[in-house]
Amino acid sequence: MSLRFGILGLLADEPLHGYEVKQRFENMLGGTWDVNIGSVYQMLQRLERDGLVEPLGERGERGKQPYKVTEAGTSALAEWLEEQESQPQLLREDIYVKLLLLARHTDGAAPRLLNRQRRVYLQRLRDLADQEKAAREQGRLELALLFKGGRLHAEADLKWLDAAVDALEDK
Amino acid sequence: MTDTIVELTDVSRTYNGASGTVALDQVTLAIARGEFTAVMGASGSGKSTLLNVVAGLDRPTSGRIVVDGQDLSRASESDLARYRRTRIGFVFQFFNLLPNLSVLDNVMVPAELAGMARADARTRGRQLLEELGIATVERSYPTNLSGGQRQRVAIARALINRPALVLADEPTGTLDSHAGEQVMELLDEINNRGQTIMLVTHDVNLATSHGRRILTLSDGAMVDDTAIEARRGAKPADLVRLRAGEA
């Protein structure tokens, strides 16, 4: 859904063609999402099919077709923005499944292996803090908040890992 | 060859006799000059005890500890006192400034205790206040300063004797996040100029944002030692990815 409404939100600012959408979208997300141009065109077609965007004027140079948001698109966007997020939290990283299996298959090595994972998270926290700081220095508060979100998630993963090591050592 | 400034070999500290509490459990550790090391761990993990033995405030029950060439395990009480005064700079959570002395006088105290002439101590103190951005408050008293300013004064005081090692125990613990960040950036700057720093914190964000090496203690034992680096070229998409639901 985030790509769908991300594109809709950008087109609500001003009409854009597919490649511009891709560039603006990636820039908005500060390089955290490399979006496939094919996915953008596909999404624009779906949005058009659903009556949320429409082609604006004729195709320009090299066949570039700008799109603009329709009235239905504007209200769909407003509705989505006001809606509360109530999806279940995604815990689909390999590490969670790995932990479930480590305890069964590594014969006491789980705490050591988890400690190695811990180091990865420590470095990640550093990287995210650097990115957050850089975004803040560029005056991009919303992007800094995105990295802060990443940092808080990494911090939670680290706490979870510590709890897992403690629990497995006491077992 | 790296220049080792702190070296612990099998250092243990137990309280209340042989069957008592183990605060440090055979810790072996070498810290190079110029490092910024963060010591992490839950409360009771031994991180403050580690700092105290490195500071010469506490003696190990067993093991050897050498700081800046001085064997603390063999030092006499008076040697230890001199060591603390001249080789170590402390930054505490609660600042520990003297309320009835002005900012400048607070900063000068350790220099005078170490035998520096008052005029020299004043010159050096002013220079530090200038460097730390608090020159304008040199005549103020600690109670009239913000928490962040007080901690800067405490940092100036810690630096006045050009210590071999700065030890900071939860230096941002009582500060709001903005003031805390400024204090940490100051410590970064000081470290960039070559000052060795050991920071004790329970805050993993603080440790990873500023430390270059993270030591983790648990039940008195060192359970992890991780070097981290500032990777300027790290690609955002390799760190965070928003990919839920392209549909």
Helix (H) or strand (E) holding A26: helix A18-28
Position A92 scores a pLDDT of 64
Output the six-digit token pair for B140: 């103020």
Start-to-end CA span in chain A (Å) = 42
Contacts of A122 in chain B (CB under 8 A): 204, 207-208, 214, 226, 228
Position A38 scores a pLDDT of 92
What span, in angstroms and rounded, lies between the C-alpha atoms of A22 and A27?
9
Q: Which of residues 173-212 of B touch A (CB under 8 A)?
A: 204-205, 207-209
DSSP character string of A139-156? T-HHHHHHHHHHHHHHHH
Given a cut of 90, whether residue B20 has pLDDT beyond it is: no
Average pLDDT in chain B: 89
pLDDT digits (tens, 9 = 90+) for B45-76: 999 999 999 999 999 999 999 999 999 988 99
ipTM score over 0.90, yes or no:
no
Contacts of B204 in chain A (CB under 8 A): 122, 125, 155, 158
Given a cut of 90, whether residue B124 has pLDDT beyond it is: yes
- Interface contacts A/B by beta carbons within 8 Å: 86
Given a cut of 80, whether residue A149 has pLDDT beyond it is: yes
Tell me, what amino acid is at A47?
A: L
What does pTM read for this prediction?
A: 0.81
Position A75 scores a pLDDT of 94
Given a cut of 70, whether residue A114 has pLDDT beyond it is: yes
Given a cut of 70, whether residue B105 has pLDDT beyond it is: yes
Closest CA to B239 of A109, A30, A35: A30
pLDDT digits (tens, 9 = 90+) for B234-243: 788 777 777 6
| Sequence-ordered alpha helix ranges (H) in chain B | 47-55, 77-87, 103-113, 118-131, 147-159, 177-192, 204-210, 236-239
Cβ contact A69:A8 at 8 Å: yes
In 10 A of CB B122, how many CB atoms?
Answer: 18
Position A144 scores a pLDDT of 93
Instruction: Report helix angle B177-192 to B147-159, nearest 10.
Output: 20
B229: pLDDT confidence band, cut at 50, 70 and 90? confident
Position B247 scores a pLDDT of 41
Position A109 scores a pLDDT of 77
Q: Which of residues 15-74 of A touch B (CB under 8 A)?
A: 29-34, 39
Given a cut of 90, whether residue A31 has pLDDT beyond it is: no
Give residues with Cβ within 8 angstroms of B144, minimum separation 6: B137
The percent of residues in chain B predicted with pLDDT above 90, rounded, is 62
Position B246 scores a pLDDT of 47
pLDDT digits (tens, 9 = 90+) for A57-87: 877 677 788 999 999 999 999 999 998 877 7
Position B32 scores a pLDDT of 95
Of A101-115, A139-153, B105-119, B178-192, the least confident: A101-115
Q: Pick the residue from chain B with its C-alpha nearest to A132.
A: B236
Of A41-45, B18-22, B118-122, the least confident: B18-22
What span, in angstroms and rounded, lies between the C-alpha atoms of B240 and B238?
6
Higher pLDDT, A113 or B18: A113
Position B232 scores a pLDDT of 74
Considering only the beta carbons, identify the residue of B224, B237, B246 that sits closest to A31: B237
Q: Pick the residue from chain B with its C-alpha nearest to A124.
A: B239
